[in-house]
Every structure is written in structure tokens, then in C-alpha cells.
Structure 1
Amino acid sequence: MSLQVRRAETTEQIAYVRALFLDYLHFIEAYLGQTLSFQGTEREFADFPQTYDALWLAEVNGHQVGAVGLKPFDECTGELKRLWVTPEGRGHGVGKALCQACIEGAREQGYVRLLLDTDRGLTHANSVYERLGFVDIDRYYDNPMDSRFMALDLTSKH
């Protein structure tokens, strides 16, 4: 098995990330039984990838199986968004590798903190975040769902 995580920079790579993010959006909205439009998804995908500082794409044996994005939150803080691994990509450490790439990218951007929100029922994703050092925090944006909010201090290495 060959896992590769790279920053998505070419038009083709960005198109793959966009498609994976849309797959994620369809999955999560079906899973939750409600839309994520409160996150500004219509604008996000109309202007894609303008709302992101960076995007990463994961490949297993040459097949695109996952992606994650880094969005600016404020001048000191980034947000890990849209982590998604396709069913065929799961079980190979893809989610962890994507998170690690995003964490390093956030450090390179000069962020001192990285935020994320997730659903408590996504137990595998939650355990990846916990193992990487994310801790629970108070709600950091207006979100009508019962989400779990987490943060990672980027000034210390985990």
C-alpha cells in the first residue's frame, strides 16, 4: 500500500479536492439529516477554493481517497475543515496523515491555534483528533447542531 499526501495546487488536484469535499457534504448532511448551509457552503463551493489557505489531497495506490482544508479563522487561528476519507480509503491511516499535513501547514502559515468542529457520533474521527492532541473547547461559532468543538495549541509539538 502506498499512501501519499500532498498539497493540492494544480487545477486537477484542486478539482479532486472539491469533488471529495462535495462527497463529504452529501455524506454528512445525510448522516445528520440536515443541511450545513449555515456554514456558508453555497459561497464556499461557488468560489472554491478561495475560502481556504491550503488544501491537501491523499492518494492510496494512485487513487484519490481523501482531502482536508485549512481555513483562516482569525490572524492567529486556523480551522481544519472538511476532513474526508472515502470508504475505500479507510483503514490506511489517511485521516491521521491528512490531519498531520494540515497541522504542519497551519504552523507554516504562522497560526498558533487550530480549531475544528465534528459530530460526536463520528467516533473514529474523534479518536484521531484526540490522539493528535485536540482538546474540547466552547462553541466558537454559531452552529445550530450539537457539535463537538475542539482546538489544538500549535505552539507545542505533539
Structure 2
Amino acid sequence: MNFEMRDGHEYIDEMKLLFVEYVKSLGVTADVKEFEGLEKKYKGEGEAMYIAFVDSKPAGCVAIRRVDASTAEMKRLYVRPDFRRTGLGMSMAKIVVEEAKENGYKRLLLDSLPSMESAKQLYNVLGFRSTDAETKRPIRTVVHLTLPLVKEA
């Protein structure tokens, strides 16, 4: 699939709509007002927000957020239903993984819902592993995953 990733900050209105769709897809009520101030998020050093276009149509989004100097978090990976099962989600996730490496992060985190089977498969293929066993009190409604970005000696 041919797609183009662009800076989401240049498409704030479209990003807000994608974020609302993402939240609604999780079974939570949301509206655009909840994302006021989005233009100021994901703008720090080592952070970014992307929108994917397919045939000039907004098809999905993803962001990368800095946790600390060695850790980043992939956020809001979402692909609209018409563009699912095309490889777009995998392609966007790979771009974030590569960007995290280029920015010198040593690991990439994310969280997902247990019910998101296709997302969990995608993350597994990329090499993400659960960290819930390491957590003293894991939240059963969220799956926490990590991907080492550097080879351990």
C-alpha cells in the first residue's frame, strides 16, 4: 500500500477527528473538545505526531512521546476501518520504532487493551513483549508492552 506520513501538527483538525475515532473504537465516549490543546502535545525533543494519508485521504495516526532520556512511548496508533488489513498499521508502527532508535531511545513502551487482538499480533511481530509480569499490581484492563531498541550485551 502506498501511503504518505505527514506531520500531524500541520493537520490538527484531522488529527482530532482521528483521535476521537480511536477513543470511540475503544468503546469510550469522546468528542473533539477533549483534544483541545493537541497542537501542543508530542512536540518535545524526540517526540512527534503523524498522520497517514492514502490517496489524499486521512487513513490513520500515531505518535511518539518521550518518557525519559532512554525511553519513549508509542501512542494513539489508529487505522481507520477502510484501511485495515492493508499493512498500514504495521508500516506506521515500524516508522515509530525506527524514529525511536534514531532519537537514541533504548526502549519503546506502549499499552493496549486485551481485546485488541489484531493490535497485539502486530506488536508481537515487531518484538514487543509484555511487562505485566514485572509489575507489582498490573491493571487487568490494560496490556503493557516493551520493545528493547538496543541489543543487550
| Same-fold call, TM cutoff 0.5 | yes
Q: Which runs of structure 1 show a deviation greater than 3 angstroms over 4 or more consecutive aligned residues?
A: 142-145
Query: Structure 1 residues 63, 152: CA separation in 2 closer, same or farther (over 3 Å shift)?
Result: same
What letter is aligned with 1:151?
A: T
1:47 Cα deviation from its structure 2 partner: 2.0
Give TM-score scaled by structure 1 length: 0.78
Q: Find the counterpart in structure 2 of residue 4 from structure 1.
A: 3
* Structure 1, unaligned runs of 5 or more: none
1:129 Cα deviation from its structure 2 partner: 0.3
Summarize the alignment of residues 93-132 of structure 1 with structure 2, pairs less than 5 Å apart: 93-132=87-126
1:9 Cα deviation from its structure 2 partner: 5.3
Summarize the alignment of residues 65-84 of structure 1 with structure 2, pairs less than 5 Å apart: 65-84=59-78
User: Is 1:26 aligned to residue 16 of structure 2?
Assistant: no
Query: Structure 1 residues 9, 20: CA separation in 2 closer, same or farther (over 3 Å shift)?
Result: closer
RMSD in angstroms over aligned alpha carbons?
2.5
Query: Structure 1 residues 10, 55: CA separation in 2 closer, same or farther (over 3 Å shift)?
Result: closer
| 1:49-74: CA deviation from partner (whole Å, max 9, x where unpaired) | 33311012222222111110101112
Q: How many percent identity over aligned positions?
A: 30
Q: Take 2:117 and 2:24, find their aligned partners in 1: how far apart are those partners?
A: 19
| 1:90-131: CA deviation from partner (whole Å, max 9, x where unpaired) | 121111011011111212222111000001111101000000
1:54 aligned residue (48, 51, 67): 48
Q: Take 1:15 and 1:107, find their aligned partners in 2: how far apart are those partners?
A: 29
What letter is aligned with 1:3?
A: N
Aligned length: 143
Q: Take 1:48 and 1:66, find their aligned partners in 2: how far apart are those partners?
A: 16
* Structure 2, unaligned runs of 5 or more: none
Query: Structure 1 residues 122, 98: CA separation in 2 closer, same or farther (over 3 Å shift)?
Result: same
